[in-house]
A and B are shown apart, each in its own frame.
Chain A
Amino acid sequence: MSAIQYRPGKEPHAKEHRVVFKNVDRADWDTSLKTYEGEGGYEQLKKALGMEPKAITDEVKAAGLRGRGGAGFPAGMKWSFLPPNNEKPVYLICNADESEPGTFKDRYIIHQDPHQLIEGMAIACFATGAHLAYIYIREEFPEGAEILEKAIAEAHKAGYLGKDIQGSDFDLEIYIHRGAGAYICGEETGLIESLEGKRPYPRIKPPYFPAAMGLYLCPTIVNNVETLCHVKHILEIGSEAWAKTGTPNNTGTRILCVSGDVKKPGYYEVQVGKVTMGELINDMCGGLKEGRELKAVIPGGSSAKVLRADEVFTVGRGDDARELTIWDIPMDFDTLAACGSMAGSGGVIVIDDSRSISWILNNINNFYAHESCGQCTPCREGVLWMKKITDRVVAGKASPTDIDTLEGVAKNIDGRTICAFGEAASWPTESFVEKFRDELVGDTKTELEDDFLNAEALTAAANLR
């Protein structure tokens, strides 16, 4: 294969392993079908249409592809939860609601390589027996929605979608469905409610997976954009070769999105677990800004528990137990979980010593207070109180005991809600309070001034957002 030319300044780092992002920032690339077909586009769909659907699912299972949206759940396993002997229609939904703070990968697939996603989806639909599929794309990607609409129309015209695709007797329609600015639509059952035209209140579990009961109460598969793209590559090189990239149980590549206090923020596709936090920050992102030191890292989107720069993490069991500094952590699902956080959506937010932890946590709490759907009382009330308390800390109007109250509120949300938003919203506060209690308490006042509980001061604090 001749070397790919990337746009100047956009060349991948030497430690990257580009698969899904192969065509992102290419100098000689555009979103047309012709360009895509010129490099083997839709060949894997043609191949898939000649396979047994179950064989495709088995390949995805054998590859060990874990969901790239946040939970890291094995995609092939998710597909195999479709009920046997099902007589209802099956639907497939691509979750393109990308809205976890710190995450910006699906944006580039959608805007620069839409056919890759459509091909991956079409293969997944054939494997799962879905004839109607939707791409649920966040409303704040208006250009992305247009690009996808155009790509779908082109694929339709060329016989990759529609009736009797490539003479296979397989029919498939894919439609774009735009969200309307609500983070909760990334939760798969909330997304389904939204696609049904309702408020996106997540559904009560069980059933735990929409594969059992999803859109219109029919079996439904919901997968992230990046996950669906990988399906195409698994078919292309085979599950065995695909699983050789990455590390055991953390196979393949994934896109890490780095933002915050580094010299070169951006997206880096790496083999899962083959790059450490230190390599990511110091080599790939050019290190911290001049004269700055690392204070903390949020490793998997803002919902992931924060890691403090000076922590020592013990991972592994028995003879395999070893100690890691933050720099040594391999960026994979299992190690980040063992370090008490998660790989999540791949959004790595780097925080240096110039930042106030109270300010950071308050920004995060404002996000969750804005995005709670309001269905469960602990979350609806709790996130607002967490925001109000950190508003006060930032405004210098909090007392030291407020930090205990803050922690108590977070712990009373966690585990008491219908969906994982409760954890997503409380983990930042729980972890920041646990790891930076002294700094948070340091921002409070033991002797509150007279204007404490002064209506004007509180309103000012509440309007900080």
Chain B
Amino acid sequence: MSFAVPSDLEKEIDDRITHYPVSKRSAVLPVLHALQHHFGFIEEDAVEWAAAKLELEPIQVLEVVTFYPGFRQSAPGKCHIRVCRTLSCAMAGSYELMDSICEKAGIDRSGVTHHNPIAVSDDGKFSIEFAECLASCGTGPVCLMGDDFHEAVTDVDGLLSQYK
């Protein structure tokens, strides 16, 4: 299947690029965000496409993709979950939250490593990873369900049911 960017997405991307009148290269992050938002992750062709769009070498885009934890190189589930792992949330039970979500969503995290932090459920509905401090330490444990932020999460069944 060939990689194709829909015209409305390309228009959105072209508009974003105008926010960087001094250097197109500055638009690498916003272009990648737009592509990831649409396609779910950044595949090799997306890197090539972004590089061509910004008149860069593909490696200049790829080095950005591989550095930032916010960019994924493999397909997530339909709803991608990020559970805050850092101290205040951990004190409030974020590891237990992670275990509970995995159990209820049918996600096996045993294959997770530093470079492959994401685990996907068998049915593809959910994927999950730990995120570092989501800056809501007073209301832990917190998580992001896609772009939706949830704090003081206790009812995991209720949380997951909103995204099934």
Contact = CB atoms under 8 A, between A and B. Distances in A.
- Same complex for A and B? Answer yes
Interface of A: 89, 98-104, 106-107, 132, 138-143, 175, 177-183, 194-200, 216, 257-261, 265-267, 302, 347, 349, 351, 355, 360, 363-364, 366-367, 370-371, 373, 463, 465
Given A132-B21, A349-B88, A197 B28 contact: yes
23 contacts: A89-B22, A100-B133, A101-B86, A101-B88, A102-B137, A103-B137, A106-B135, A138-B135, A139-B33, A177-B26, A177-B30, A180-B33, A180-B68, A180-B69, A180-B71, A183-B133, A197-B29, A198-B25, A198-B60, A258-B138, A259-B91, A265-B139, A363-B86
Interface of B: 19-23, 25-30, 32-33, 54, 60, 63-64, 67-71, 82, 85-88, 90-91, 112, 114, 130-140, 144, 147, 149
A104 B69 contact: no
Contacts of B63: 198-199
B19 A257 contact: no
CB-CB nearest 6 A-B residue pairs: A180-B70, A181-B70, A180-B68, A259-B137, A259-B88, A197-B28
A216 B63 CA distance: 20
Contacts of B27: 197
Nearest to A91: B22
Nearest to B147: A142
Contacts of B135: 98-99, 103-104, 106-107, 138, 140-141
Given A139-B33, A258-B138, A267-B138, A199 B87 contact: no
A266 B21 contact: no
Contacts of A178: 29-30, 33
A99 B147 contact: no
Contacts of B131: 140, 181
Nearest to A139: B70
A175 B87 contact: no
Contacts of A266: 138
Contacts of B71: 180
A197 B88 contact: no
Contact of B82 (A140, A265, A370, A373): A140
Contacts of A347: 137
Given A143-B147, A196-B26, A216-B23, A182 B88 contact: no
B21 A259 contact: no
A355 B91 contact: yes
A257 B139 CA distance: 11
Contacts of B90: 363
A197 B87 contact: no
Nearest to A463: B112
Contacts of A371: 132
Contacts of B67: 182, 199-200, 373
Given A101-B87, A140-B144, A265 B137 contact: yes
A260 B130 CA distance: 19
A181 B82 CA distance: 11
